[in-house]
Structure 1
């Protein structure tokens, strides 16, 4: 049985100083390798949701560009819900 040394190099990025440090790990046995990577939020995509063109559609984009439905529906559906449950 031959023993082969394994050398693994890790690049560790320090975002505050914009430097990359190298860390080394040496093993005299063949290790079980598990790769873990860190990710970030990607760029925003296109708005691919299909929105109905019905005349009473109240779904709009809010000031923060998120979907928003105003609560000024008339008549108030809560009353109908309470009556239906009663």
Structure 2
């Protein structure tokens, strides 16, 4: 998880990151934070925003190893 946030990050993103640090769900490691415990976010976008330290659309940001986005993965096969 990035240890930086952009200036335009919403307050809830900053608060959630602070909460995760205080509860030791994430810990500082050199230039990043590392999750030490599992944590369930309310949505893919919430998770992406907190992890990236900026506003984010989780359906577009989260990707499988093959590069497929979460949005593409969740869409039914239209063949």
- So what's the TM-score if we normalise by structure 2? 0.22
**Larger RCO (alpha carbons 8 Å, 6+ apart):** 2
Greater Rg by CA: 1
Q: Name the structure with the higher helix share.
A: 2
- So what's the TM-score if we normalise by structure 1? 0.21
